[in-house]
Amino acid sequence: MKQICTLRAAVAQITDCASIMIGGFVCCGMALRLIDALLEQGTKELTIISNDAGYPDKGVGKLVGANRIRKLIASYLGPNPDVGRKMNSGELLVELVPQGTLAERIRCGGAGLGGILTPTGIGTEVERGKQIITVDGKQYLVEMPLRADFSFVKAHVCDKMGNAFIAKSSKNFNVVMAMAARHTIVETDELVEPGALDPERVSVPGVFVKTIAWSNSHE
Amino acid sequence: MKQICTLRAAVAQITDCASIMIGGFVCCGMALRLIDALLEQGTKELTIISNDAGYPDKGVGKLVGANRIRKLIASYLGPNPDVGRKMNSGELLVELVPQGTLAERIRCGGAGLGGILTPTGIGTEVERGKQIITVDGKQYLVEMPLRADFSFVKAHVCDKMGNAFIAKSSKNFNVVMAMAARHTIVETDELVEPGALDPERVSVPGVFVKTIAWSNSHE
Amino acid sequence: MSDDNKDLKRERIAKRIVRELPDNALVNLGVGLPTLVANFMPKDKTILLHSENGFTGLGPMPAKGAEDWDIVNAGGFPVSILAGGCFFDSAMSFSIIRGGHLDVTVLGGLEVDEAGNLANYLIPGKMLAGMGGAMDLVVGARTVIIAMEHVNKYGEPKILKQCRLPLTAQRVVNLIVTDMAFMRVTPRGLVLEEIAADTTVDDVIKNTEAHLTLAPTIATF
Amino acid sequence: MSDDNKDLKRERIAKRIVRELPDNALVNLGVGLPTLVANFMPKDKTILLHSENGFTGLGPMPAKGAEDWDIVNAGGFPVSILAGGCFFDSAMSFSIIRGGHLDVTVLGGLEVDEAGNLANYLIPGKMLAGMGGAMDLVVGARTVIIAMEHVNKYGEPKILKQCRLPLTAQRVVNLIVTDMAFMRVTPRGLVLEEIAADTTVDDVIKNTEAHLTLAPTIATF
């Protein structure tokens, strides 16, 4: 069975220097309460993989602000000017990855693939240090899988088998990140018995999930 | 808007020598009525990409039996001994592809990727003629994208924007095949107005669909 | 330039771009100026908007107080979904983009050059916006339209012989629409097809570093 | 061998395999003999079955007349889904398999050899079953168990020094369970750990081409 626990207990398993994938898109579909619990706990030197750094006062942005992140792998930093400042001052390592490539690299990690060939990034700084393969006369970059120690997935409903429904546009990176971490933690608004969630509405199959942190169990 | 028509009109666009991806898994989720309409029409010399060849008297198996297929790309031929016979007698070309690789190659075709690196097939006949890349000390085959002129997708409900709900275990190859054809045809049991299908239950986004063949409109 | 005037010029860019959208097109609008295009959707065409964070059928912002924070656009702001749209995850969203299923993408630009190269995500040491979905969008979309001011805030040309900033992608831009001009990228370089109502061909040329070939007739927009 | 006797031997294989399934395991059962394992699921463990055509929570065949043909197993026959299962497409299904999320796969075999190589999809010129999901399953699953008769229909060994048929995969098999023996593939070759109640160690060795190392104690199953 899955570990079902408080937000605090869920993040207690995360130690300094861990790598964490955090789903969400400018805070939509981001496990904000797990991030808050992680902040409270004081964990530092993290590698964070996330589409963006949210806003300075919300989500991943809070971890940036509190200097908990050593390296950030992301695609879009528009809404958070802190990141650029900290990068330029040498406080934070930033690896920029095109958004589609980020999704595919994470999916590769979860799907047991050794990489993908993508046309995205050819002729740009993104291609630096990467192998280029020509298929049918077109150039592709070989992009490698991304995996992490943990991933934070934000669900609206999760059953006790870990099957998670993620509503509307908050699915975004949560689905592939659930697949690609050694330990996937779901923060859910609602926890239900197996069978209570329509099997056609499952965004993340429970087989990927190890821990379910129930928001309402937050002390 | 999408072309909404009879099964007969839908397949009228398919000429001899066309390549067609046909979703389904041993006939579950297979567009059986589109296949029947194609048989009636007499189209031949087809390249068919499908997980399996169904049974001799059903689905893709009927196309095999009627000698309409020049080349079959599939993973599993257990339930149809016809295929082996016709292959051994030289009437039919067969390319065997591992099921997971087949799904990923088709997905690559639909997703604009140049290929994937998979560990599946290393050290077997599947690796013949393919490039092998070592990543982190592990060997991977480079597998190329698959695309087709047409794909047949079987839906339970489809709205007039092409958004399709495919129930239960009949999703199988239908989702990736919808993405990878130049012309995707959905055979649906039920046709509804835009908005009548819950946007959370869409298995295939309508943007991939060109033609909707409404089973009940079969004359 | 007054703010009102600036807004009018941005509207003019958006309205001109709308005329380039084919009927039944699937279109993705970038953050900022390109988003304005949604305000002028043609009544006589069916345009489906794609939001790269994960849905089709992008609709208007809801009234204040009626926001659904689970439906946001690529800028993270609450929007709505129209009948006939649907939700999906990021991997599917970028499969749509990269797989050639997107008809048009409209994006902002820092620099565009004669070869159709685009730079729009990074000014080393200054601005670190990140490419977000831009690199995939311009590589995957059938038509790439860049919507931007003709010159930067120092009055310097943004349409160059050759981009100087880090590229978003090579040879991808099809059309450039600015507050001054409508230009097409062709194998023989940039062709000036139309100018804004309040400018002249000479003025456009003066504010453009790239060589502009003049179309046989130059219309006004 | 009578059919009844054959059925009993197949049951014995299935029951022995059941004991190898860890609590909370995600398990995939191949077509044929491996499917029997589902009939003997342990009451004291929670086992979730994965069906590679697209769901977890594989349950028993429905009563005649109550079949739902949209819920079939990998053999194409109607089954059911249990509470806590969910549906997905083939790409997701094989992501689960290939990505290391599957604890155990049980498959049939034509040949297995001392190195843990497996052949089970093709007899050139004779049988063209196709590998289906087998190549992905054995490469992806954490534990690979082969369930098969100890010898073929001509009485010839199927457990060989080296496979002769086209391989399904190299060095992937962990356990071999037959009507005669329970063997483990180790870096030093095959270890015979248990024999069936109605056979002897000598008999097993006589019917095996591969070299068998004997475990310190040989149990009976």
Token pair in block for residue A49: 């993989």
Give the length of chain D.
221
Q: How far is A174 from chain C, CA to nearest CA, in Å?
A: 8
Q: Is residue B12 part of a domain?
A: yes
Phi and psi torsions of D129, nearest 5°? -80, -30
Residue A59: inside a domain: yes
- Residue C160: which of C118, C132, C99, C105 has the closest Cα? C118
Cα dihedral C1, C4, C7, C11 sign: negative
Nearest residue to B203 via CA among D91, C142, C82: D91
pLDDT above 50: residue A219: no
Separation CA B200–CA A169 (nearest Å):
10
| Residue D168 in contact with partner chain B when CB distance is under 8 A | yes
Q: Report the alpha-carbon distance of residue B35 to residue B31 in Å, rounded.
A: 6
The one-letter code for the residue type at A138 is K
pLDDT averaged per 10 residues in sequence order, chain B, 219 residues? 94 98 96 97 98 94 97 93 90 96 98 98 97 93 98 98 98 98 97 97 98 71
Give the gyration radius of chain B's Cα atoms. 17
Q: What is the mean pLDDT of residues C81-105?
A: 98
Task: Check CB contact of A113 with chain B, cutoff 8 Å.
Answer: yes
Beta strands in chain C (DSSP E): 26-29, 48-51, 55-59, 80-87, 104-107, 111-113, 118-119, 122-123, 127-128, 143-147, 159-160, 175-177, 181-186, 189-195, 212-220
Q: What is the mean pLDDT of residues C189-208?
A: 97
Residue in B109, B113, B199 closest to C86 by CB: B199
B207/C100 touch (CB, cutoff 8 Å), yes or no:
no
Indicate the SS3 state at residue D189.
strand
D128 touches D148 (CB < 8 A): no
The 3 state secondary structure assigned to chain A is CCEEECHHHHHCCCCCCCEEEECCECCECCCHHHHHHHHHHCCCCEEEEECECCECCECHHHHHHCCCEEEEEECECCCCHHHHHHHHCCCCEEEECCHHHHHHHHHHHHHCCCEEEECCCCCCHHHCCCCEEEECCEEEEEECCCCEEEEEEEEEEEECCCCEECCHHHCCCHHHHHHHEEEEEEEEEEEECCCCCCCCCCCECHHHCCEEEEHHHCC
Number of domains in chain B: 1
* Residue B119, in any domain of the structure: no
Which stretches in chain D have pLDDT values below 50?
A: none
CA–centroid distance for B119 within its chain? 24
* DSSP secondary structure letter of residue B100: H
Q: How confident is residue A215, by pLDDT bands cut at 50, 70 and 90?
A: low
Residues C151-166: tens digit of each pLDDT: 999 999 999 999 999 9
User: Residue D127: which residues within 8 A CB-CB, separation 6 or more?
Assistant: B84
| Minimal C-alpha gap between A155 and chain B (Å) | 14
- Nearest residue of A to residue B137, measured between CA atoms: A114
pTM: predicted TM-score of the whole model, two decimal places = 0.97
Tell me the C-alpha distance between B40 and C212, whole Å.
57
How far is Cα A210 from Cα A10, in angstroms, rounded to an integer?
Answer: 10
Taking phi over 0 as left and psi of -120 to 50 as alpha, with beta for the rest, B17 belongs to left
Which DSSP helix (H) or strand (E) runs through B214?
strand B211-214
Q: Does A114 touch chain D (CB under 8 A)?
A: no
pLDDT at D1: 55
A118: in domain: no
Q: Can you list the domains of chain D with their CATH numbers?
A: 3-220 (3.40.1080.10)
pLDDT at A217 over 60: no
Which CATH number covers residue B74?
3.40.1080.10
D8-21: b (≥16 Cβ within 10 Å) or e: ebbebbbbbbbebb
The Cβ of residue B142 has, within 10 Å, a number of other Cβ atoms equal to 20
Report yes or no: A27 at the C interface, CB cutoff 8 Å. yes
ipTM value, please give it: 0.97
Report residue A216's pLDDT band, with 50, 70 and 90 as the boundaries.
Answer: low
The pLDDT of C100-112, averaged and rounded, is: 98
Lowest-pLDDT range, A123-127, A204-208, D43-47?
D43-47
Interface test with B, best of A102, A105, A113 (most B CBs within 10 A): A113
Containing structural domain, residue A88: 3-111+146-213
Distance from CA of D83 to the nearest CA of A (A): 4
Beta carbons of B176 and B184 less than 8 angstroms apart: no
